[in-house]
Structure 1
Amino acid sequence: MGGAVFATEKKAYPGKLTFSVFKACIVASMGGLIFGYDIGISGGVTSMDSFLLRFFPSVFHQKNLDQSNNEYCQYDSQILTTFTSSLYIAALLSSLVASAMTRKFGRRNSMLFGGALFFIGALLNGFAQAIWMLILGRMLLGFGVGFCNQSVPLYLSEMAPYKHRGSLNVMFQMSITIGILIANVLNYFFAKLGGLGWRLSLGGAMVPALIITVGSFFLPDTPNSMIDRGDHEGARASLEKIRGIQAVDEEFDDLVTASLESKLVEHPWKNLLQRKYRPQLIMSIMIPFFQQLTGINVIMFYAPVLFNSIGFESDASLMSAVITGLVNVLATVVSIYGVDRWGRRALFLEGGFQMLICQIVVAIAIGAKFGTNGNPGVLPIWYAVVVVVFICIYVAGFAWSWGPLGWLVPSEIFPLEVRSAAQSVTVAVNMLFTFVVAQIFLTMLCHLKFGLFIFFAVFVVAMTIFVKFLLPETKGIPIEEMTRVWKAHWFWSRFVDQDEVDNPIQIPKSPYFVDTII
């Protein structure tokens, strides 16, 4: 990728990874905790008999009393899946509103607002007395997730030095995986408490909500956002602090240039459809689409339900979910270490191949034991070991590739003038297909049976081919120089305006002049 090398050599901003920016990115990445906690908690709660008996008695009867029922179909209930999936349709809607709020009020305030909404939703779920309270609480959780998922990746990408942008941005995914693990552990212990257990599990979401809400009060906003809102002096002081040097003229001038260009854009949503943004827009749609169609949320949403459906006892299914959650966290560390060393493409491709092999093996293992009638008889130890091991290897492949990179790459490829709107597209697509998968998974498991894993494997093949031929490498390229990546690509170069790439708007270095024209 000659263009990537050229861009990196042209713009090598001075500065280092300071404690100030590292601390800010750690706190901001905690926004991922609320998303991860919810992903992990919902599957465990919906497998608790006390929860099912209280709100979904028909599912409880189908699971525990109907001995003739096919194991694949014991959780097949559209009302039950609505409990899980309602959060994601709410997140989709809020992500569209979050774009304007993030741009007008800043990344930090958007995170704060999202955390507050999530806290209220968790409180309502913890004290729920009826299904409508559960659904309303889940929707408030979704609004909070939408705001945080829109603002946190932008915050991390804009705060981080370009050489460390990948590693710092992956902290968001790390927080998601930690949230999933914590939720799985709590489900395992709370399930033993009967009716109190599911309330503690759902209400426990207030803790990560408080972390991001309170933490946001102490975060600085990004220099990009401060410039965009007219605070040039504050932005320059912030940039000097987070880079650890005073010689930030070049980077600051580029940020001001980007801000000027962004202010010339009156309708960022409409401008996203312009030809010059076509490559980035397609990536912002296809990457989150493929991320959800890997089948990962089959594991993460419904891990206890899935393991229980394929013959594990309740305690064993919850413990298996804990194990996959732990693997998820540890494997994400690999991405933090390697994303800025090995590059995005290498991790995408390796992860896709690894997930494909594991899905085929799991499909064979489940198909051989269950067939199509879903009656496994007595499950031998080797069967349980094979299924859990290969699911863990699958989770590891996702955790160091499509998990973190599905958030990182879309957040770093857009110019400032359409960045907030584009991030909303990414979140909206992600939440839309998260909703679809969550809503139809249990029905698909009932009808496709072990073929469900083959269904997702087909998409893994498609997304790996997509990355191989259409995704350029973005490692080590300053975020305001990213346009040159597309100009160097064999396919996307036809969409990029040559004159705009080679002759960007030049902003005079006089602060007075800059302030005047902006």
Structure 2
Amino acid sequence: MNKKYTITISLIVAMGGFLLGFDSAVISGAVNGIRSYFEMTDWELGFSVGCVIFGAMAGNITAGPLSDKFGRKKILILTAMLFTVSALWSAFATNYISFVIARIIGGVGIGGAILIAPIYIAEIAPPKLRGSLVSLNQLNIVLGISVAYFSNYFLKDIEGESWRWMLGVEAIPAIIYFLSLFLVPRSPRWLIQKLGNVNIAEKTLIKIGGEEFAEKTIGEIQRGIDKKEAKGTYADFFSKRMRIIVIIAFGLAFFQQITGINAIFYYAPTIFEQAGGSTDASFLQAIVVGLTNLIFTFVAIYLIDKLGRKPLLIIGTSAMAVALSMATLAFNNATYNFNEKTIEKISNPEIKTALAELNGVSLSSQNELFESVQPLLNESQFIEFKQNEIKNFISINATLVLIAILLYVAAFAISLGPVMWTMLSEIFPGNVKGIAISVVGFFNSLVSYTVTQFFPWELTNLGPTVTFAIYAGMAILSLLFVLKYVIETKGKTLEEVEELLIRQ
């Protein structure tokens, strides 16, 4: 078996994951800059950050069918072009609408890459390596997130509009991805299933695993074709015999996002500022979050084909529930103190003057804080206080917040992060895989958008305590779902997984 060749082409394809991760996290450093430049409200900020997911939905719903028709490779090349255009356009945007359009274009690339890269890798990987190789896509996602946090940290002090540099630098890896994709072969399974081209598929399979592997794989693909319709439909996807597959797929897609992972990645510096950190410290803590994500994704890749998919999901969702509960506790126990030192930190002189009469007051919750501050400020001042000044008054166990966030990210990185995409690439029958992946990916993006859009509003109006409590509750529900519905696919061929699930 030619592991080197298989790993090389898997790594090239998984660069789409790197761009996805970079695009997702780089906006976290630009949040304050774009809010100020485009004069955004909380809702406008949430939309400008989350609108990328609208593009992802379009990518989700079209990438699968298009990849079935034109091939996995061509659609991946198209996503690389979209990433490049989005990076340059968003960096040069001069108005809010133009900026949002650029973000949506990048989202279409995300929607395509996040679905088609795992499908391609799963279709070329030998069963014993499939979990690890598909997880390379998730590894590259978290590597992209980490690199984005580092990039933001080193670009944040550029004079002028540093956010433009943060967003524009993504064009460099996007162009490299575009050029590298011309080196990978077309998917052997796609060649046989859609074009009936056994000869070219056989050459690629021989390169991957030798003649015996090629012969066995071609036989399995052809037997699979003989057992099902030439092309699946949406009716096939939602048919009764697919019931357990649909439940597993939609359940994992829902819980992967509703537990708040993109809120953490998109707004990491903002969260740490809410815990009283300085701008420099919050950017550095975001880097630590990215590195934690990266390290534990390596752990997932090592364990996914040894320990199995379901055990990792059980361990990870349990730890996520614990971590989010810790964050809830830390923010719940926070106090807000007004004294000469904290009042002096207020940047707006009118707000500083208005709040001077609270000197010496200590409050035990965010609700009490808002009740005390609101009568002293006009509406716009109160909004500015909640967005920018509240961090000056909080007294909190910041170490506990950091530990909770790091534990949460580590737990996600060994479970719902890589395992969901691995299982989605495994559980669907070949004739409906493109349609199924698109529909489920669209749903996953819809949940992600909801979380991202509401997060700034939740922090401002509900406070971090209630926000993290909601995520903790969802993590507990995700554990219960895994225990009841998820099956183990470790070590099985794609055809064996199909037979196992369709029988149920």
Q: TM-score, normalised by structure 1?
A: 0.84
Corresponding residue to 1:241 among 197, 207, 218:
207
- Equivalent residue number for residue 344 of structure 1: 309
C-alpha separation between the residues in 2 aligned to 1:377 and 1:81?
23
- Equivalent residue number for residue 454 of structure 2: 440
Answer whether contact 1:44 1:305 (CA < 8 A) is retained: no
- Equivalent residue number for residue 71 of structure 1: none
Q: Which amino acid aligns with 1:217?
A: F
Alignment of 1:412-491 (within 5 A): 412-449=426-463, 450-486=465-501
| Structure 2 SS opposite 1:47 | helix
- Superposed CA deviations along residues 227-273 of structure 1, whole A, max 9, x for unmatched, are 122211111111111113345323211112323455533x5222101
- Equivalent residue number for residue 516 of structure 1: none
C-alpha separation between the residues in 2 aligned to 1:47 and 1:38?
17
- Equivalent residue number for residue 132 of structure 1: 97
C-alpha separation between the residues in 1 aligned to 2:191 and 2:104?
31
C-alpha separation between the residues in 2 aligned to 1:376 and 1:139?
31
C-alpha separation between the residues in 2 aligned to 1:80 and 1:415?
40
Answer whether contact 2:277 2:391 (CA < 8 A) is retained: no
C-alpha separation between the residues in 1 aligned to 2:199 and 2:391?
68
Answer whether contact 1:30 1:211 (CA < 8 A) is retained: no
Q: Which amino acid aligns with 1:27?
A: I
- Equivalent residue number for residue 407 of structure 1: 421
Corresponding residue to 2:35 among 52, 56, 78:
52
- Structure 2 residue 240 is the aligned partner of structure 1 residue 275: yes
- Superposed CA deviations along residues 92-121 of structure 1, whole A, max 9, x for unmatched, are 022211122100111111111111111111
C-alpha separation between the residues in 2 aligned to 1:460 and 1:363?
13
- Equivalent residue number for residue 217 of structure 2: 251
- Equivalent residue number for residue 103 of structure 1: 68
Answer whether contact 2:131 2:305 (CA < 8 A) is retained: yes
C-alpha separation between the residues in 1 aligned to 2:263 and 2:44?
17
- Superposed CA deviations along residues 401-452 of structure 1, whole A, max 9, x for unmatched, are 1111121111111111011111112211111111111111111222321111
- Equivalent residue number for residue 120 of structure 1: 85
- Equivalent residue number for residue 327 of structure 1: 292
Corresponding residue to 1:230 among 180, 183, 196:
196
Q: How many residues align?
A: 452
Answer whether contact 1:280 1:413 (CA < 8 A) is retained: yes
Q: Which amino acid aligns with 2:23?
A: D
What value does the CA root-mean-square deviation take over the aligned residues?
Answer: 1.7
Q: Aligned pair in 2 of structure 1 residues 261, 212: CA closer, same or farther (>3 Å)?
A: farther
22-31 or 425-434: which moved more? 425-434
Q: Which amino acid aligns with 1:149?
A: I
302-311 or 289-298: which moved more? 302-311
Q: Aligned pair in 2 of structure 1 residues 243, 182: CA closer, same or farther (>3 Å)?
A: same
C-alpha separation between the residues in 1 aligned to 2:140 and 2:296?
13
- Superposed CA deviations along residues 366-388 of structure 1, whole A, max 9, x for unmatched, are 111142245576666x8222211
Corresponding residue to 2:44 among 79, 96, 104:
79
- Superposed CA deviations along residues 199-227 of structure 1, whole A, max 9, x for unmatched, are 11111121232232112111111110111
Q: Which amino acid aligns with 2:461?
A: H
- Equivalent residue number for residue 387 of structure 1: 401
| Structure 1 SS opposite 2:271 | helix
C-alpha separation between the residues in 2 aligned to 1:248 and 1:469?
37
- Superposed CA deviations along residues 123-170 of structure 1, whole A, max 9, x for unmatched, are 101111111121110011011111111210101111111011111111
C-alpha separation between the residues in 1 aligned to 2:241 and 2:178?
37
C-alpha separation between the residues in 1 aligned to 2:104 and 2:257?
20
Q: Which amino acid aligns with 1:483?
A: E
Alignment of 1:163-312 (within 5 A): 163-228=128-193, 229-246=195-212, 248-261=214-227, 263-265=229-231, 267-312=232-277
- Equivalent residue number for residue 357 of structure 2: none
Q: Aligned pair in 2 of structure 1 residues 282, 17: CA closer, same or farther (>3 Å)?
A: farther
Q: TM-score, normalised by structure 2?
A: 0.86
Answer whether contact 2:2 2:207 (CA < 8 A) is retained: no
Q: Which amino acid aligns with 1:358?
A: A
C-alpha separation between the residues in 2 aligned to 1:336 and 1:344?
11
Answer whether contact 2:87 2:169 (CA < 8 A) is retained: yes
C-alpha separation between the residues in 1 aligned to 2:259 and 2:455?
13
Corresponding residue to 1:29 among 14, 17, 26:
14
C-alpha separation between the residues in 2 aligned to 1:127 and 1:180?
22
- Superposed CA deviations along residues 337-392 of structure 1, whole A, max 9, x for unmatched, are 00000001111000111111111111111111142245576666x82222112211
| Structure 2 SS opposite 1:244 | helix
C-alpha separation between the residues in 2 aligned to 1:226 and 1:271?
22
Answer whether contact 1:173 1:332 (CA < 8 A) is retained: yes
C-alpha separation between the residues in 2 aligned to 1:123 and 1:256?
44
Q: Aligned pair in 2 of structure 1 residues 167, 290: CA closer, same or farther (>3 Å)?
A: same
- Percent identical among aligned pairs is 29
- Structure 2 residue 366 is the aligned partner of structure 1 residue 372: yes
Q: Aligned pair in 2 of structure 1 residues 235, 376: CA closer, same or farther (>3 Å)?
A: closer
Answer whether contact 2:46 2:452 (CA < 8 A) is retained: yes
Answer whether contact 1:472 1:485 (CA < 8 A) is retained: no
Q: Which amino acid aligns with 2:52?
A: L
Answer whether contact 1:474 1:485 (CA < 8 A) is retained: no
| Structure 2 SS opposite 1:475 | coil
C-alpha displacement at 1:309, in angstroms? 2.5
